[in-house]
A and B are shown apart, each in its own frame.
Chain A
Amino acid sequence: KQEVTQIPAALSVPEGENLVLNCSFTDSAIYNLQWFRQDPGKGLTSLLLIQSSQREQTSGRLNASLDKSSGRSTLYIAASQPGDSATYLCAGTQGGSEKLVFGKGTKLTVNP
């Protein structure tokens, strides 16, 4: 059974700092690993999707990597901005299926 853990639970950084969010998963038979952003009381915005054959994906200031052998994914945010403040969720598929298992998220606060 897939379990997804995100560390840290909360992170506060000054504006402009580069930062890394961590995600670990237990089932290496992962099909997709996805990073989402969730603003308070809102739905999810998909940031990056890494398929099993890929090692990383980039979009603007965001870069996500996937290491299936170690069961880890990281989300790198460059030159953080106050608008990046949100909860970041990592989700991996379970047992080769399309079901997504979510971590509890990392709440990021970027201070001006």
Chain B
Amino acid sequence: GAVVSQHPSWVICKSGTSVKIECRSLDFQATTMFWYRQFPKQSLMLMATSNEGSKATYEQGVEKDKFLINHASLTLSTLTVTSAHPEDSSFYICSARLAGLRLAKNIQYFGAGTRLSVL
């Protein structure tokens, strides 16, 4: 149980285009999902917290107009990288937190990640 699916796993795009990444909780509902970014040989850095039905909360230094997050249902959050540039090339990972279970409320389940390469 508690599987998080992330799609696509790898995307290559031209500079200036937009890319959408999906994060789905397959067998549980997630009121909260998180988006992380990982540059080579660096740790994961939290970009934003996505709450179902409300606006995402962005971490300091993350441009909310560039990284659009939509969490329209309890099982799906999307991250759109708008007008992507080579410096946006990175590994993006989402996680989902179980809703409703007190003991498990702070456990995050992670997707397999999306490698974005902007040419």
Task: Assess A46 versus B46: contact at CB under 8 Å? Given A41-B115, A98-B97.
Answer: no
Are B107 and A99 touching (Cβ within 8 A)?
no
Count of interface residues, chain A, beta-carbon cutoff 8 Å: 24
Task: Assess A100 versus B108: contact at CB under 8 Å? Given A43-B6, A44-B93, A89-B43.
Answer: yes
A105: chain B residues at CB < 8 Å are 43
CB distance from A45 to the nearest CB of B (A): 8
Are A43 and B106 touching (Cβ within 8 A)?
no
Interface string of A86-107 (1 = CB under 8 A from B): 0001010100001111111100
B6: chain A residues at CB < 8 Å are 43
Instruction: Give the docked Cα–Cα distance between A49 and B110 (Å).
Output: 14
User: Which B89-119 residues have a C-beta within 8 angstroms of A?
Assistant: 91, 93, 95, 97, 105-113, 115
Query: Could you tell me the dominant secondary structure of chain B's interface residues?
Result: strand
Instruction: Give the docked Cα–Cα distance between A42 and B9 (Å).
Output: 9
Query: Could you tell me the dominant secondary structure of chain A's interface residues?
Result: strand
Are A43 and B43 touching (Cβ within 8 A)?
no
Cross-chain contact of B32 among A36, A41, A98 (Cβ < 8 A): A98
Q: Residue among B108, B111, B115 with the most chain A CB within 10 A?
A: B108
Are A43 and B115 touching (Cβ within 8 A)?
no
Closest to A9 in B: B41
Cross-chain contact of A46 among B42, B43, B45, B110 (Cβ < 8 A): B110
Tell me whether B44 is interfacial, beta carbon within 8 Å: yes
Are B106 and A32 touching (Cβ within 8 A)?
yes
Tell me whether A25 is interfacial, beta carbon within 8 Å: no
Are A43 and B42 touching (Cβ within 8 A)?
no
Are B41 and A49 touching (Cβ within 8 A)?
no
List the 4 shortest-distance A-B pairs measured between CB atoms, nearest first.
A43-B112, A44-B110, A102-B43, A43-B113
13 residue pairs from A and B, CB less than 8 Å apart? A4-B43, A31-B106, A32-B107, A34-B108, A43-B93, A43-B111, A43-B112, A44-B93, A49-B107, A91-B44, A98-B105, A102-B45, A104-B41
Interface residues of B (CB under 8 A from A): 6, 32, 34, 36, 41-46, 49, 91, 93, 95, 97, 105-113, 115
